[in-house]
Chains A and B, each alone.
Chain A
């Protein structure tokens, strides 16, 4: 099954 990803895990906070 699939779960919704979050952008925090792809893009770094600057």
Chain B
């Protein structure tokens, strides 16, 4: 028996919004420790890694490890049927071929349940090595979303250059070029507005704007985003999900031919 309950549907809705542009389907691995989803997009350029810790759910029971392959488009449709302040309970029997989403209104007067067929997904799991990144940038997530949106008008790809002075985002194409420089915040009044750079070595990497823009769909989950970069390895874009866990996106850099 698997059962996980959250007092508020909003977070699950936001999580689905943050993954459904990149993934059509995914396997939710459920265990005592929580729920994990790891899946690459079809082109194997980016990877989504979602972790939700069991102790942050309002109720969590997982008698046996369970892998549930879900169509994320269908899951998003079902979650749209929940009001933001509804309690959500996800339930599945051991070895079941369906999962049930139950929504309960705050006054307990409306209860709805939606059953969804599970899928057998033959997905590859990737081992992601622990990496000491040369540069780790923390910045407001809205600012990152804005930069990705603005620079995508100029080119398919964006160069991110990080030094100890700051981080520079650049795009250049037929229309012209764009550069946005952010300096490290000198005095932090509000932590969520700060730009903080931890640099071991300067890094310059090029990434496809399309994927970066897809990652920014997670912006409503967290005020801050963390970018971790090292030369010639995938970028990690991380959004914390309050005290529930995190969503990390990995993106392969563009490489010299």
Q: Contact mask A1-14 → B, CB, 8 Å, 1/0?
A: 11111111111111
- In contact, A7 and B254 (Cβ under 8 angstroms): no
Q: Does B129 contact A (CB under 8 A)?
A: yes
* Cβ contacts under 8 Å, B206 to chain A: 2
Cβ contact within 8 Å between B45 and A7: yes
Q: Are A7 and B157 in contact (CB under 8 A)?
A: no
Q: Is the CB of B255 within 8 A of A5?
A: yes
Q: Is the CB of B234 within 8 A of A7?
A: yes
The distance from the CB of B250 to the nearest CB of chain A, in whole angstroms, is 6
Q: Point out the residue from B157, B252, B256 that lies within 8 Å of A6, measured CB to CB.
A: B252
- B128 interface neighbour in A2, A9, A11, Cβ under 8 Å: A11
Identify the closest chain A residue to B129 (Cβ). Answer: A11
Q: Which residue of B lies closest to A1 (CB)?
A: B257
- Given the complex of chains A and B, what is the CA–CA distance between A1 and B254 in angstroms? 9
User: Which residues of chain A are near B176, meaning CB under 8 Å?
Assistant: none
The reply on B124 being an interface residue by CB < 8 A is yes
Determine whether the beta carbon of B252 is less than 8 Å from that of A9.
Answer: yes
Cross-chain contact B255 with A3 (CB below 8 angstroms): yes
- In the complex the two chains form, is A12's CB within 8 Å of B40's CB? no
Q: Are B125 and A10 in contact, with the CB atoms below 8 A?
A: no
Instruction: Evaluate whether A14 and B254 lie within 8 angstroms (CB atoms) in the complex, with A2-B157, A6-B45 already known.
Output: no
Taking a contact as CB atoms under 8 Å apart, the answer to whether A10 and B255 are in contact is no
Q: Is the beta-carbon distance between B47 and A4 smaller than 8 angstroms?
A: no
A13 to B11, CA, bound (A): 30
- Contact between chains at A5 and B128 (CB < 8 Å): no
Q: Report the separation of the CA atoms of residues A3 and B254 in the bound assembly, to the nearest whole angstrom.
A: 5
Produce 1/0 per residue, B107-135, CB < 8 A to A. Answer: 00000000000000000111111000000
Inter-chain contact B257/A10, CB cutoff 8 Å: no
A9 to B252 CA separation, bound complex (whole angstroms): 9
In the complex, which of the residues B126, B127, B252 contacts A4, with contact meaning CB atoms closer than 8 Å? B252
The reply to whether A14 and B208 form a contact with Cβ atoms under 8 Å apart is no
Q: A residues bordering B, Cβ < 8 Å?
A: 1-14
| 13 other A-B residue contacts (CB within 8 Å) besides A2-B157, A4-B254, A12-B127 | A1-B257, A2-B256, A3-B257, A4-B255, A5-B45, A5-B252, A7-B45, A7-B47, A7-B234, A11-B127, A11-B129, A11-B250, A13-B125
> Which positions in B face A, CB cutoff 8 Å?
40, 43-47, 124-129, 157, 206, 208, 233-234, 250, 252-257
